[in-house]
Amino acid sequence: MRPGRQRRRLRRRLGALLIHAVLAGGAVFMLLPMLWMLATSFKPPPEIAVWPPHLLPQAPTLANYRGLFQAVPFPRFFGNSVFISVISTACVVITSMIAGAVFAKYRFPGRSFLFMLVLATAIVPFEAYMIPLYIQLVRLHWINTYQAIILPWLVMSFGIFLLRQHVASAIPDELMEAARVDGASEWWTFRRVLVPLSGNAMAAVGIFAFIQAWGVFLWLLLVANNEHLFNLEVGLTAFQFRFSTDYGKLMAGSTLSTLPMLIVFLLLRRRIIENMALTGLKG
């Protein structure tokens, strides 16, 4: 009896060890691209083209970062990314809150139709209707302007859906009724009752909007061919096409482009993961 139990315990320990080994191996695979990128960005050119490669730089240098700033208007790209993302996030949160609240708490003719229309447009991928949108902006002479870049990212059907769900289920009608009895206007009720009670849901929508706007790529490629309008994603791509083999500088640029999002993620880690898990939307 004893040896059997011991063997079983041993087997369980071995099993746990194996699981940890697999998890750790997977973690290395997930982190490897970022670590490899970071390490390469500090390597002087001779160390980059060396076989076998060293994981860590032997003579770390900032030359790649300095070279990057000389080669491309990197701060400009960064500023554009921030600008586009902030404007888009603000607009998405505001439009989603307004539409979400109206769809959740009011009855009016055409309500379901309009709500379904808003949701239905979310099913069609953006790539499928970017052509007419582009033609339209050519006619307006909006090509190479910020408004053209930001335009498609001012609204988000998913944001409206999420805030409608939140307002409908989490804010009792009695609160609004009480405000009305006190003579409050509808706008006052919206501003002072619905908005303050929707902070978390608005933050969730804001995070999605920010991630989405930060990653704008194809659309910007279409409507902007002026370097001054590029965000980090497109700027880095253009830089890559020009210096396709200068991996030191490329990795420096990639590291700097990844860093802001990484910091935001590590700060809001739990919230972002929970939001994504609960709502099931990919960023």
Residue 209 as a binder of another protein (CB under 8 A): the answer is no
Q: Which of 113, 127, 182, 199 binds another protein (CB under 8 A)?
A: 127
User: Which member of 154, 184, 195, 203 binds another protein (CB under 8 A)?
Assistant: 154
Interaction between residue 236 and another protein (CB under 8 A): yes
144 binds another protein (CB under 8 A): no
Burial class from Cβ neighbours inside 10 Å (0-12, 13-18, 19+) for residue 276 reads middle
Q: Which stretch, 42-50, 59-67, 68-76, 198-206, contacts another protein (CB under 8 A)?
A: 42-50
- The nearer residue to another protein, 66 or 242, going by C-beta atoms, is 242
Among 3, 125, 183, 199, binds another protein (CB under 8 A): 125
Q: Which of 218, 225, 228, 267 binds another protein (CB under 8 A)?
A: 218
Q: Which of 21, 116, 129, 191 binds another protein (CB under 8 A)?
A: 129
Closest CA to 245 of 74, 42, 49, 55: 49
Residue 75 interacting with another protein (CB under 8 A):
no
Q: Please choose, out of 3-11, 68-76, 121-129, 197-205, the segment that lies near another protein by the rule CB under 8 A.
A: 121-129
Read off the DSSP letter of residue 205.
Answer: H
- Touching another protein, residues 80-109 (CB under 8 A): 95, 98-99, 101-102, 104-109
Q: Are 84 and 198 in contact (CB under 8 A)?
A: no
Closest CA to 212 of 163, 152, 128: 152
Given CA atoms 123, 127, 131, 133 in this order, what sign does their dihedral have?
positive
35-39: long-range pairs with CB below 8 Å, 24+: 37/251, 37/254, 37/255, 37/258, 38/251, 38/255
Q: What is the full DSSP assignment across 110-128?
A: THHHHHHHHHHHHHS-HHH
- Is residue 283 involved in binding another protein (CB under 8 A)? yes
Does position 267 bind another protein by CB under 8 A? no
